[in-house]
Amino acid sequence: MEVIKHYEYLHEIPELGFNEFKTSEYLKTTLKNAGFKIQELDKTGFYTELGSGDEIIGLRADIDALGHIIDNIACAKHTCGHDAHMSMLLCAALKAKEQNIIKNKKIRFIFQPAEELGSGALKMIELGACDNLSAIFGMHIRPIQECPSPKAIASMYYAASAAIKIDIVGKAAHGARPHLGINAIDIGVSIIDLARKIYIDPNKPSSIKATRFICDSGVTNSIPSEATLVFDLRAQHNESMQEMKEKLEKIIVNMANTYDAKINYEYLINIPAAIIDKKLAKICEEVIVDTLGEDNLIKEQFTPGGEDFFFYPIKLGIPSAFMGLGVDCSPGLHHPQMQLNKNALENGVNLWLNLIKKLENLK
């Protein structure tokens, strides 16, 4: 299968966000050789189109790999399935052109960088990749535990995801004279303790937890003056995420005043929760049934994972839908030894093709 050939090549050239140069070049060259015109955007992101209708519908795939430390060596590796995503959309574009199935509408195939950084979708919007779109669709492979092959999910409800970095500046002092200092460890521990007491409506899943705490004076008898904290925040609803962030920010300000310290914070990641259009979700359900059979349809799945795709409907004000594809991914996404069933990728190609056909006939 062609999709496996593309997947195997792209899998071997993983590149980090906004640096997907070889990846982007391979995709663009393959499309150009098939007669596609490429609209290049910035360094690595681009799109191409088929059809000549007035209505433009976007299909998006992400192209970046994850950063890992394996055997004490920092490296890029495709452990989130983006190599599968771009291979499936690439093949769908090639087959759609070959079969001449797009006549009434215009389909825009969007290849987006830097999803793992949480900023690739925003960059594509800024550069005009989504201008004049009436709707946008995405797809992501799923872990075997929630969606084994050949099943597929019509609506993936991703959670809002944020990472906040907090820099604490206190005052150094000798361990024998703590009253002369402002202990950055004490401040960090207080922030962590109070953050654990942030309560959000339990009917709306959410979590907040410290994931990094760096503080070291260099010796055992000196009070450290500086520390860095990182929190990971998750919420199934955007309103819950906003409430959680506001409460954490209030804690940070109060602790700065309580300890007479300087505390700065910034959001490293700030991704919204899924917004899925019911009409488009129904279309995805029909496409899955037509392609894989009714027994292989999972109507919806909720996940605490984040996906920057949902900046598109929020920032552009257009309807969106997002499918999940079973490819027997194990042990799981982002695992350094993640494996998948390559043969299942053809299901993703066919889902894209059948979606295009269905969109063609919609009025």
Q: pTM of the prediction?
A: 0.93
Low-confidence ranges of the chain (pLDDT < 70): none
Structure tokens at 82: 């983006």
Note every long-range contact of 196-205, with CB atoms under 8 Å and residues 24 or more positions apart, other chains counting.
198/244, 198/247, 198/248, 198/251, 200/235, 200/240, 200/243, 200/244, 201/240, 204/235, 204/236, 204/237, 204/239, 204/240, 205/159, 205/234, 205/235, 205/236, 205/302, 205/304
pLDDT score recorded for residue 174: 97
Q: What is the DSSP letter of 261?
A: -
CATH code reported for the domain at 160-271: 3.30.70.360
User: Where in the chain is CATH 3.40.630.10?
Assistant: 2-158+274-361
pLDDT score recorded for residue 361: 84
3.30.460.10, 3.40.47.10, 3.40.630.10, 3.40.50.2000: CATH of 2-158+274-361? 3.40.630.10
User: Where in the chain is CATH 3.30.70.360?
Assistant: 160-271
pLDDT score recorded for residue 363: 72
pLDDT score recorded for residue 1: 84
pLDDT score recorded for residue 88: 99
Residue 69 main-chain phi, psi, to 5 deg = -115, 110
pLDDT score recorded for residue 56: 97
In angstroms, rounded to a whole number, what is the distance separating the alpha carbons of residues 329 and 322?
18
In angstroms, rounded to a whole number, what is the distance separating the alpha carbons of residues 85 and 154?
16
